Amino acid sequence: MAKTILGDFLSNSWSCIETLVRELSVFHGDEKRKPQMFYLKNGKKYEFTLDGRHFFLRSSVEYSNPQLTVEEVQGIIGTRLLEVCANYFHTVGLHEPDSRDISEICEKLNKPSEELVVSFLLNTDETEPDRYSMNPLKESIVKSGQSAFPSASVKTEELKIDDKFMQKYEKSLISRSEAELISRQIETCNNSYIDMVDAVKYEQMENLSTSFGINLTLCSMRMPLIILRNEKTDDLLHCIIKTIHTDYRSIETAYNCMGRSMKNRTTLLTIPHSKKGYGSKRAARGKIYFDGTRLKSVKVGYRTTPLYPNAIDPEDVSVAEADDSFTVEGDKLTNYSFGETPSSPQFFVYSLGSPESAVIWHGIGAFGAAQMLKSYAAIRVVCETNPLFRNLKEQFAILVRIPLQFNLMPKHMWFHPIHRNIDASIGCIDNLQDLAKLGMRLENLIDVSGGIEMRKTD
């Protein structure tokens, strides 16, 4: 299967390989960047620090479902293909690949990341545990009162497989063997939901590595909450939150990145958590208040809010149940301490803390929000040009140049051969060859006039 997928990738995603190889020819690492990563093997967690000489290629999986989906597996495989091909052709030079090249690349695909380009997974731990109505633990997540909690705070002691979910979605969203795997990992995860999810997905990645002939056990980084919990108040994410809340002008600058007006000031740049544990960005309502140009306070309310449906039943919408309101004084944000004021920063804010020099998105243009990409790009321009934000670049070696942007082409996303949904679990696929035959197509997303635009492809 590795040879089948690689052949299609080389034929149809060559421009992405060329783009990355040319970037590597002028790339200079930064020893100030020392990202903390981890991976699991045979159920054991290994933590380590990578040095800044590497070119980091970012992909992702979700904490909103324990089981690996077809979409996530495609993203991981696409990331490894781009990583290995870029490393290979950076070494031997760009040329039309022949059978010898394909054999050597297949051999490298079966080994872990170890060269200049290193793939990693950025796992966002502030999302709700059942954001997309595809979590087989969904009923107990709601009953335990944790549906509006950030995933990093969810405990597993009251969680169990939802029989109704299994009856309805077995073989379309989840397999029986995956449900058994999840139940087994719940028993050994030390009451941590995200530890359980990582254990499930890494066990699946290990098994799939053998099936595909591609090493899929990428190293991972959890952001932003786990990093914020472990940071000191003068570390990177804390300083980013302090900087964007300095005064009216800094908040206005961040609003401009999002394409928002300061007229209503209802979008919070970091969402304070409730003492009841709520942290859902969808369930939160906010208002920013000023005293002149000084940030005076932020009013926060949490209300029960629908989230998103799965692809099988559009009427089955997940929910974040919450009810609370409170006010956070401005100095709690201008002098930020996560220990005192736990909060979830917006993605475009905390993504500055990722070491990525290139990114692979999953179907932007059909399954992802283009506006998020524009904010992501705009904040990096601000860090390059705005004197207030430039200090972040100088102090923490933030990569302000917009990273290379690649995308799983929406028309070529992998899907369930019968139900045709991309959110099917990988365990629902009886024959993995059905996915391999779909090929692997990546495209470049290019920066145009301060935004991100899809490159037109055939």
Q: pLDDT tens digit string along 107-119?
A: 999 999 889 999 9
Indicate whether 195 belongs to any domain: no
Burial of 168 (0-12, 13-18, 19+ CB in 10 A): middle
Give the pLDDT confidence score for residue 243 in this predicted structure: 95
133 in a structural domain: no
Confidence at residue 158, expressed as pLDDT on a 0 to 100 scale: 98
Q: Is residue 237 part of a domain?
A: yes
- The answer to whether 16 touches 361, Cβ cutoff 8 Å, is no
Q: Provide DSSP, 202-214.
A: HHHHHHHHHHHTS
pLDDT of residue 369: 66
**Alpha-carbon torsion, ordered 424, 430, 434, 436, to 10 deg:** 80
Q: Shortest CA distance to 281 belongs to which of 409, 104, 372, 148?
A: 148
* Same domain for 319 and 250: yes
pLDDT, tens only, 349-377:
999 999 999 999 998 866 556 778 889 99
456, pLDDT greater than 60? no
Which one, of 352, 454, 449, 455, lies nearest residue 396 by Cα?
A: 352
* Element holding 422 (H helix, E strand): none
Same structural domain, 86 and 211: yes
Looking at residue 396, its pLDDT comes to 87
| pLDDT at residue number 167 | 98
Bond before 224 cis per omega within 30 degrees = yes
Q: Is residue 307 assigned to a domain?
A: yes
Section 301-330 average pLDDT:
98
112 and 160 share one domain = no
Q: Tell me the C-alpha to C-alpha distance, in Å, between residue 381 and each of 21, 322, 394, 404.
A: 24, 36, 14, 14
Residue ending a domain, among 326, 346, 366, is 346
pLDDT higher at 161 or 387: 161
**Same domain? 145 vs 98:** no
The two structure tokens encoding residue 294: 């000084």
21-49 confidence digits (pLDDT tens): 999 999 988 877 889 999 999 889 999 99
Structure token digits, residue 135:
């979590």
**Assigned domain for 424 exists:** yes
Contact in structure between 186 and 408 (CB atoms under 8 Å): no
Q: Check pLDDT > 60 for residue 82.
A: yes
Nearest one of 336, 345, 365 to 453, comparing CA atoms: 365
Instruction: Indicate if 247 and 385 belong to the same structural domain.
Output: no
Distance (Å, whole) CA 8 – CA 1: 11
Q: Assess whether pLDDT exceeds 80 at residue 455.
A: no
Digit-coded pLDDT (tens) for 147-189? 999 999 999 999 999 999 999 999 999 999 999 999 999 999 9
Same domain, 90 and 149: no
Q: Which two tokens stand for residue 227?
A: 């990093």
Query: Which residues neighbour 194 within 8 Å (Cβ) at sequence distance 6 or greater?
Result: 63, 123, 125, 151, 152, 154, 222, 226
Pair (117, 24) in one structural domain: yes
Whether residue 18 lies inside any domain: the answer is: yes
Residues 6+ apart with CB under 8 A from 305: 148, 280, 282, 283, 319, 320, 322
Angle subtended by helix axes 248-258 and 387-396, to nearest 10: 80
Spatial CA neighbour of 347 closest among 219, 241, 240, 224 = 224
How far apart are alpha carbons 348 and 437 in whole angstroms?
35
Q: What is the mean pLDDT of the chain?
A: 93
Q: Is the dihedral of CA 278, 223, 32, 391 positive or negative?
A: negative
Residues 183, 158, single domain; the answer is yes
Angle, CA of 318, 352 and 249, to the nearest 5° = 95
Q: Same domain, yes or no, for 355 and 218?
A: yes
| Number of domains within the chain | 3
219: in domain:
yes
In a domain, 278, yes or no: yes
- For 120, residues 6+ apart whose C-beta sits below 8 A from its C-beta are 35, 37, 56, 57, 58, 59, 218, 219, 220, 221
Q: Are residues 297 and 373 in the same domain?
A: no
Determine contact, residues 36/49, Cβ cutoff 8 Å. yes
How long is the chain?
A: 458
Short-list 90, 130, 449, 42, CA closest to 310: 130
pTM, to two decimals: 0.94
Spatial distance between the Cα atoms of 149 and 273, rounded to a whole number of angstroms: 9
Backbone torsion region of residue 209, taken as left when φ is above 0, otherwise alpha when ψ lies between -120 and 50, otherwise beta: alpha
102 and 221 co-located in one domain? yes
- Is 363 found in the same domain as 327? no
Range of the domain at 144: 138-189
Predicted confidence (pLDDT) at residue 202 exceeds the cutoff of 90? yes
Question: CA of 257: how far to CAs of 124, 368, 397, in Å?
Answer: 21, 18, 21
